[in-house]
A = this chain, B = another copy of it.
């Protein structure tokens, strides 16, 4: 039988600040035979997410850190190419924790990988890493469950052209809100307004976010979905309304800091406005993902809901491709394609 060679990115060292090439090791090994109850999955697409930077750090978080020499954690879409489990058949497409590697082998019911079947007739595969995957679930439940927007309210979202931001804005539009994005660059801003139907978008690279909020949120900000932290969070805090809700989803501006995270100096605006700042972790909503997929799937089928992916080719580009996130270079959900469909 043919030996299948795997390729894997492993964490070689815990990065200080921005991850360097030397923080990774690129390894190769033969894929072992599968045992009873196991499956072999060929990874097709990998989801590259800001949260991965956090998994590389030591310390208590919502999930354990990736260990040194361990294959880097990542969610992916793959195809079952061998199976000794009744749970999956050869040819099935699955979504789960493949890690940054070309092949995954293990128990079909592995709790960490948590594979589930996806139906490629419903949508192109990359969408299952975007609106129909973790970013979409994060956006949907963070906005609706934590943010509780009401029709007519103003919703602001940073990282608007990113995986989570795209969905936040479109869900808010479907719910009757005024939606203002914050993104870096004219192309991204044009995209969220012209393609996704946001009411406005503030280009933080070309002007003042404060002035943009004054102009585009004449009635203040009722809900702010924060993906970036830092100065932008602080600026939005000066424009919130009474009883505003701020969803803390991430802080991409702070993840590669070597100095302490910059806390929101204007947090006392929460007091003045009796407002709330609350964190969201998507795994809490696992039991309700189907609800979100059904509603967003319907909007997609009706042509009311778009998503955009930025697909980069080749597992060997992983260290550099990941950095696109932190430089704001990706345009849409960042995906690494490691095998053909």
Contact = CB atoms under 8 A, between A and B. Distances in A.
Interface of A: 60-62, 229, 234, 248-251, 254, 260-281, 284
Nearest to A264: B263
Nearest to A261: B265
A61 B268 CA distance: 10
Contacts of A274: 278-281, 284
Contacts of A261: 265-268
B284 A279 contact: no
Given A271-B249, A274-B279, A262 B265 contact: yes
Nearest to A284: B274
Contacts of A276: 276-279
A287 B95 CA distance: 53
Contacts of A60: 272
B270 A277 contact: yes
Nearest to A251: B268
4 cross-chain pairs, A with B, having the tightest CB-CB distances, nearest first: A263-B263, A271-B279, A270-B279, A263-B265
Given A262-B263, A268-B279, A272-B279, 6 more contacts: A250-B271, A263-B263, A267-B277, A269-B279, A270-B277, A275-B279
B267 A267 contact: yes
Contact of A271 (B264, B273, B280): B280
A247 to B, nearest CB: 9
Contact of A267 (B249, B263, B273): B263
Nearest to A263: B263
21 contacts: A60-B272, A62-B273, A248-B267, A248-B271, A249-B271, A250-B271, A251-B268, A254-B268, A263-B264, A263-B267, A264-B264, A264-B267, A269-B279, A270-B277, A270-B279, A272-B279, A274-B278, A276-B276, A276-B277, A276-B278, A276-B279
Nearest to A259: B265
Nearest to A247: B271
A248 B263 contact: no
A278 B249 CA distance: 16
Nearest to A270: B279
